[in-house]
A and B are shown apart, each in its own frame.
Chain A
């Protein structure tokens, strides 16, 4: 199990890697999305990440505003993905982490997550 603080650190690092990736920037182009990230086993570990006009703004504590995309999983699975320790498209992760949102939002999130994992 990961703590709220550990998950927050993983998310902050994830955002930095996303902001540094040219491919992620291309993927996010024109995208606006409010993401709520919730750890199923640590109720206080809930975060909001926002993409505005194709730019990943950052992470805030708590569930803020109306979510376009909801990402749920155990704190450990979420931390593994955000630290880049686990392939987000792995067989296990496809069952362990649930996403809820429009096809457009889910597709962009998938691509972003894979590029960050691959370090591209």
Chain B
């Protein structure tokens, strides 16, 4: 029995197999009660591994694992089905050739991200501060200048416009209700335009426009023309403001996890033990008045409730029986994922620090336009992180790996000198190529989606509850939001089961 089950008196039934082919499982585990439901007979017949639980969770990212953790803590029996051979979803930590841990996905935690902090603390995931000492580099119109602070100050008229624009956007964002953005007084007006439209109408200097559009790319890995202004404002409010979103010290990029962000999920999965089933992609969700069955080619789990902890666009690719209401399916048709390559270059030492640089760049051109110092806590080796985002990711995603690498290294050499173009190791990761993510950092809302379909984002459909950072009200799109969404979905499922949520 797991620690949680012991603490909270819940059963460990989730770890038990209920295979109908008992002969194949003799000795593997005690056989549980027979399936009481007749839902999805076809799917169940096709699967060789048939189980049951109180709640089945699809997706072992931070949302799904947080949901399962909360369910188990409350004494519920949960099973998590994960398509990949690993947990962590959009957090993915891998060693470089020398063993340096590289986060290929989400990696930062900011000071106001209390839910991911609580989870990290609970599983003993230590953090360290992102290197942020010195000057930043701005590369604009072919010129390289250095500056201190979050906003380049070389051109005072540009800086002034940016500050005014940021203040205006921040103030507007406070009028967006986090639980229901479509209820903002100006929701219709804001959801009818893109962020690019707003920038063109309200910002006059090309430099300020370019920097604001770069900020959008950095935060959403999408273009300002892709995003609904209402979504942008919601996102700002959800994070606490643009400074929180964009900042390193005191902002969302303040700290990293010593053993990588995926370590959190690995630890939670270890606690959940056999309740987490890897290599279990699913394709069919069938529900009726007796229960719900989630089925894949090899496994089927029948439960009272299901939590789908996937990005909405992936949730929309599952087959539902009965079919989902049109408004829910049409929502999932309209929430694309961001486009990003995460590039990391490893050097013997972080040589830019000796030049008084933070390692942070903002550039108006090139494949990589945003960089950070991503060296480990020890400062050795030196690691530069560059993002290829939005249109650049779309363009370079159709080029060869060699061409992409050449373009990325040329950018780093322009920003940091010749040395930067000669790393001892180059690592890139494209999230659009990941079958079970299809993009990063998150799904976003183009114009018209919040006001037309926003209510469908979290609304349960029968026995199905929706999780994933895209459904979060605080730090939407971030690890913190993923945890919030999982815990919220677990509370919904527990309420439906008649159980009371308990803090894990």
CA gap between A75 and B358 in the complex, in Å: 26
A95 touches B153 (CB 8 A): no
Q: Report B-chain residues with C-beta under 8 Å of the C-beta of A27.
A: 164, 167
CB distance from B24 to the nearest CB of A (A): 58
CA gap between A94 and B252 in the complex, in Å: 13
Chain A residue, CB-CB nearest to B358: A91
Given A103-B241, A111-B163, A118-B160, decide whether A90 and B149 contact each other with a Cβ distance below 8 A: yes
Q: Would you list the 10 A-B pairs with minimal beta carbon distance, nearest first? A: A89-B149, A111-B167, A90-B149, A94-B250, A107-B170, A90-B148, A94-B249, A87-B149, A95-B249, A91-B132
Contact flags (1/0) for A75-94 with B, using CB distance below 8 Å? 00000000000011111111
Q: Report B-chain residues with C-beta under 8 Å of the C-beta of A89.
A: 149-151
Q: By DSSP majority rule, is chain A's interface helix, strand, loop, or mixed?
A: helix
Q: Report B-chain residues with C-beta under 8 Å of the C-beta of A91.
A: 132-134, 148-149, 248-249, 358
Q: Report B-chain residues with C-beta under 8 Å of the C-beta of A108.
A: 167
Chain A residue, CB-CB nearest to B148: A90
CB distance from A96 to the nearest CB of B (A): 9
Chain A residue, CB-CB nearest to B170: A107
Choose from B163, B167, B171, B247 the contact partner of A94 (Cβ within 8 Å): B247
Q: How large is the interface on B (under 10, 10 to 19, 20 to 34, 35 or more residues)?
A: 20 to 34
Q: Which of A52-103 contact B (CB under 8 A)?
A: 87-95, 103
Indicate whether A44 reaches chain B with its CB closer than 8 angstroms: no
CA gap between A114 and B170 in the complex, in Å: 15
Indicate whether B407 reaches chain A with its CB closer than 8 angstroms: no
CB distance from A33 to the nearest CB of B (A): 14
Q: Report B-chain residues with C-beta under 8 Å of the C-beta of A23.
A: 160, 164
Chain B residue, CB-CB nearest to A30: B171
CA gap between A4 and B160 in the complex, in Å: 31
Chain B residue, CB-CB nearest to A114: B163
B170 touches A103 (CB 8 A): yes
B166 touches A111 (CB 8 A): yes
CA gap between A71 and B149 in the complex, in Å: 19
Indicate whether B174 reaches chain A with its CB closer than 8 angstroms: yes
Q: Report A-chain residues with C-beta under 8 Å of the C-beta of B167.
A: 27, 107-108, 110-111
Interface residues of A (CB under 8 A from B): 23, 26-27, 87-95, 103-104, 106-108, 110-111, 114-115, 118-120
CA gap between A87 and B136 in the complex, in Å: 13
B151, B160, B358: residue with the most chain A Cβ atoms closer than 10 Å: B160
Q: Report B-chain residues with C-beta under 8 Å of the C-beta of A111.
A: 163-164, 166-167
CB distance from A11 to the nearest CB of B (A): 21
B249 touches A115 (CB 8 A): no
Q: Report A-chain residues with C-beta under 8 Å of the C-beta of B266.
A: none
Chain A residue, CB-CB nearest to B162: A114
CB distance from A104 to the nearest CB of B (A): 6
CB distance from B205 to the nearest CB of A (A): 13
B159 touches A114 (CB 8 A): yes
A120 touches B156 (CB 8 A): yes
Chain A residue, CB-CB nearest to B240: A103
B160 touches A87 (CB 8 A): no
Contact flags (1/0) for B126-168 with A, using CB distance below 8 Å? 0000001110000000000000111101001001100110110
Contact flags (1/0) for B231-258 with A, using CB distance below 8 Å? 0000000001101000111110000000
B133, B148, B151, B174: residue with the most chain A Cβ atoms closer than 10 Å: B148
CB distance from A41 to the nearest CB of B (A): 21
CA gap between A120 and B171 in the complex, in Å: 20
CB distance from A18 to the nearest CB of B (A): 14
Q: Report A-chain residues with C-beta under 8 Å of the C-beta of B248.
A: 91
CB distance from A30 to the nearest CB of B (A): 10
23 intermolecular pairs with C-beta atoms under 8 Å apart? A26-B164, A27-B164, A87-B148, A89-B150, A89-B151, A90-B148, A91-B148, A91-B149, A91-B248, A92-B133, A94-B247, A103-B170, A103-B174, A103-B241, A106-B241, A107-B167, A107-B170, A107-B243, A108-B167, A110-B243, A111-B164, A118-B156, A118-B159
B153 touches A87 (CB 8 A): yes
Chain B residue, CB-CB nearest to A108: B167
CB distance from B246 to the nearest CB of A (A): 10
Q: Report A-chain residues with C-beta under 8 Å of the C-beta of B133.
A: 91-92
CA gap between A116 and B134 in the complex, in Å: 23
Chain A residue, CB-CB nearest to B244: A103
A119 touches B163 (CB 8 A): no
Q: Report B-chain residues with C-beta under 8 Å of the C-beta of A120.
A: 156, 160
Chain A residue, CB-CB nearest to B151: A89
A107 touches B249 (CB 8 A): no
